[in-house]
Structure 1
Amino acid sequence: MARTKLNERQLDALRRICHGETPITSDDSGLAATVYALRNRGLVTTPRADGRWSAAPTEAGLQHLAHTDATHAPHPSASAPSTVAEAAELISRLQQAGDTLHIANPTPDERARWRRALHAARADHLVPDGHHLQHTGRDKGDLVITLRPGPPPRRSTPPDETVPVPDDLPPDHLHPAAATAHIPACPECQPRARRILHALCHAVEAKNYTVSNPESGSAASLVITIGDSSFPLAFHEGAYEVPDPSGAKYAWQRVTGHTTRPSHQLDLSLEHTYAHRGRRSHWGDRQRWRLEGKLPALLREIAHRAQIEYERRQAQQRKEEETRQRWLTAMQQARTALAEDHRLKTLRTQVQAWQEAAAIRAYCDALEDHQNTDPAAAEGVTAWTTWARAYADRIDPVLQNPRLPDPPTITPEDLRPYLRGWSPYEPKRQ
């Protein structure tokens, strides 16, 4: 059968699916069309789990890539002359641009050419001594290439960290959580999957974490708990499509139907959550490694997520405590302001009463000073001023020896006008 020729972008994607350390998933939206094109050619499959797909190579895809690489492999001694020239030009442009080169949203072919130039610059030792190259935007977005001083950064993964998985283990020796875990895999893969979970359970407990089975109805196989954070972990087995001749009635009829078969490639994934968006969540069998060798990386990711969630909870608690303290301060200030207004109101009332009493007495003096020759009228004036003076004495606060008024009975609604947007019931803004 003639092999379908792939463009550069499709070849790069196929290489990454077959040999890359970072899998291509539905999160890589910029590569979705390329993956679908490879799937239509029968070179990859896209098994789904938890609403997301991950690209996996088929046997045809592996053979196609091996044939392509063998046919177009460069001479082992050095890069192709044109690539070397592009690499030299890249270093020159970087030095002229101040060690940073920004290429705005290049086309797929341009992006692949820049990546080849980067590889050639490193392989042919064109990078200036004491410097290294870094770049972002490998598959999408702007491509930014930087020439940095110093040696290239080393990976911090401890090389001696391992999670030993037994080659054989009787069912009655399995960890209880591994023995009862729900594993959606073919019968041939079940023993290996349970041994992996068995090793994972013991490694988790060795770190003083907790491992348990999920609640009924969950698609997870295990739940790993660190402090207040729980991480459901799900097992999956890949599958690939093959032609299904059962739908053809005649030997000469074209086979158009397809059926799926288990790939025997196991995959462990953390539950997808926006709290850890962009972080790696899938580990599985690939062409160059097996899932067993990726268990330490999985545990490191879980520990990292637990630390992130712990720090977020601490920050949230600090924020809530700061909000509560501001609310308590606002409530105290509101009570003080209300009490002050109560005193001012009382004072104004007393001053008004005192002024009124003084005015009444002055009025009485004016009545008494008025010359009235009519004895009956004079008697009436005297009776009136006597009553008026008695009333003035009753309302005059000075004669009552006033003191600081008692604080009023305060309800939450009384405080609302003084809180400047705070709720009088809880530490929240309204």
Structure 2
Amino acid sequence: MELADIDPSYYDNLVRSANRHGKVPAGQRLEFSGGWRKAAVTLTGEPIPAAEEAHEAAKPIIEVPVAEQLRRLHPAVASARQDKTRLAFKGPVRNRALRVLDALAKEAVRRGYEVSRAEVNPRGYRGSSRDSDLVITIGEHDHALSVVEDTDRTPHEPTARELEEAAKPFGRRIPKYDHTPSGRLTVHINGGLGVRQSHFGDTKTYNLENRLGEILQEIEGRAAASEARRLERIAQAEAEKRAWEEVRDQAILDATEAYYAKVLAKQAERWERANELARYLDAMAARIESLDPEPRAAGEAWLAWSRTYVASLSPLAKKLRMPEAPKLTTEDIKPFMRGLSPYGPRGY
């Protein structure tokens, strides 16, 4: 469901409340994303395991100290400070945002995590974390943090020029509201499986600085959930591979048996053909006996060659042994793969 011109904190709280109190279908959960101008509520089929949620709820939230001045910044935060395209807030607000990021970065390092800035390619894109100001990596899992300044929404008073433009055919629509910077900050988390929420900001009762421990706890919960899912996928892939290999091995046996059966059938065909020709040669010999000497000699020469040839046709005239195992190709075993791909468990 897409939303426009809404209070993101209000809907974020509604979503979290619905998830906590079982107001969503079993086995699913709601996720909120977006901001004031545009947002969305999505129903996903990846629920938070109850044991994991209880574990996270039981963990104490460690208070994260925030420096009063911008000194000895973490390198990633120092880099963000130099990038004037990021955190484009007014001086005091930008100063505060940098101090919040620095506190999160230093606490993450203290806990043994990696902290970096989103990499920017020569064209200015940051890939999946292009809007982030900081990336905290736990194990193999990245979590991008971005700081935004919330806005205050007030009814828009249209100007005379706006009214004039709107009156024209296909004129520009007059906005309903004005959005002005409020000085309030919100940290957005992108990456991993959401455990509780994705936005942490200033509220009527809490400052953002008092919620940094919650932010790190959310990131740790996401990393744990992502790691559990990664291990589950690895185990599933290994199980699929084992099952595929069993089918593949049996397909090789079946294809080999089919090859031997073809060899046997061809031997039987040659034996029947040799017997049929041998009967004909017996009739030929009887006819030659009745011929005069001159044509009899010519007939006997032909009969001699024919008997030698027919004798070579019969497989029983040769040494009987097990045929050599066939050199099977992927296409040879394909008909015996029970519908699976012969190229691998994932079809390649």
TM-score of the pair, normalised by structure 2:
0.69
- The one-letter amino acid paired with 2:115 is V
1:228 counterpart residue number = 140
Q: Which has the higher contact order (CA 8 A, sep 6+)?
A: 2
- The percentage of aligned residue pairs carrying the same residue is 28
Give the 3-state SS of the residue equivalent to 1:23 in structure 2. helix
Identify which of 136, 149, 155 aligns with 1:237.
Answer: 149
| Structure 2 gap ranges (5+) | 1-6, 16-33, 42-55, 81-85, 161-174
Identify which of 181, 198, 211 aligns with 1:262.
Answer: 181
1:294 counterpart residue number = 211
Rg larger for: 1
Determine if the alignment matches structure 1 residue 25 to structure 2 residue 24: no
Q: Tell me the CA shift for residue 284 of structure 1.
A: 1.1
Distance change >3 Å, CA 304–CA 191, structure 1 → 2:
same
2:244 counterpart residue number = 327
Q: Tell me the CA shift for residue 246 of structure 1.
A: 11
Verify the 8 A CA contact 2:89 2:149 in the aligned structure 1: yes
**Separation in structure 1 between the aligned mates of residue 40 and residue 93 of structure 2, nearest angstrom:** 21
**Separation in structure 2 between the aligned mates of residue 371 and residue 176 of structure 1, nearest angstrom:** 108
Q: Tell me the CA shift for residue 346 of structure 1.
A: 1.4
Identify which of 171, 176, 179 aligns with 2:75.
Answer: 176
Give the 3-state SS of the residue equivalent to 1:189 in structure 2. helix
Q: Tell me the CA shift for residue 258 of structure 1.
A: 6.8
**Separation in structure 2 between the aligned mates of residue 306 and residue 277 of structure 1, nearest angstrom:** 9
Give the 3-state SS of the residue equivalent to 2:203 in structure 1. coil
Give the 3-state SS of the residue equivalent to 1:24 in structure 2. helix
**Separation in structure 1 between the aligned mates of residue 152 and residue 241 of structure 2, nearest angstrom:** 56
1:394 counterpart residue number = 312
Q: How many residues align?
A: 285
Determine if the alignment matches structure 1 residue 191 to structure 2 residue 63: no
**Separation in structure 1 between the aligned mates of residue 158 and residue 133 of structure 2, nearest angstrom:** 35
**Separation in structure 1 between the aligned mates of residue 215 and residue 115 of structure 2, nearest angstrom:** 14
Identify which of 198, 203, 225 aligns with 2:107.
Answer: 203
Q: Within 5 Å, which residues of 2 pair with 1:112-151? A: none
**Separation in structure 1 between the aligned mates of residue 255 and residue 343 of structure 2, nearest angstrom:** 16
Give the 3-state SS of the residue equivalent to 1:425 in structure 2. coil
2:200 counterpart residue number = 283
**Separation in structure 2 between the aligned mates of residue 240 and residue 196 of structure 1, nearest angstrom:** 22
Give the 3-state SS of the residue equivalent to 2:328 in structure 1. coil
Q: Tell me the CA shift for residue 185 of structure 1.
A: 3.0
TM-score of the pair, normalised by structure 1:
0.57
Give the 3-state SS of the residue equivalent to 1:287 in structure 2. coil
Verify the 8 A CA contact 2:195 2:218 in the aligned structure 1: no
**Separation in structure 1 between the aligned mates of residue 255 and residue 213 of structure 2, nearest angstrom:** 62
Q: Tell me the CA shift for residue 333 of structure 1.
A: 2.5
Q: Tell me the CA shift for residue 223 of structure 1.
A: 0.9
**Separation in structure 2 between the aligned mates of residue 359 and residue 301 of structure 1, nearest angstrom:** 85
Distance change >3 Å, CA 358–CA 186, structure 1 → 2:
same
Give the 3-state SS of the residue equivalent to 2:97 in structure 1. helix
Q: Tell me the CA shift for residue 353 of structure 1.
A: 1.9
Per-residue Cα deviation, 1:240-282 (whole angstroms, up to 9, x for no partner): 145789969xxxxxxx9975443221111112x6x63684111
Per-residue Cα deviation, 1:96-120 (whole angstroms, up to 9, x for no partner): xxxxxxxxxxxxxxxxxxxxxxxxx
Determine if the alignment matches structure 1 residue 165 to structure 2 residue 66: yes
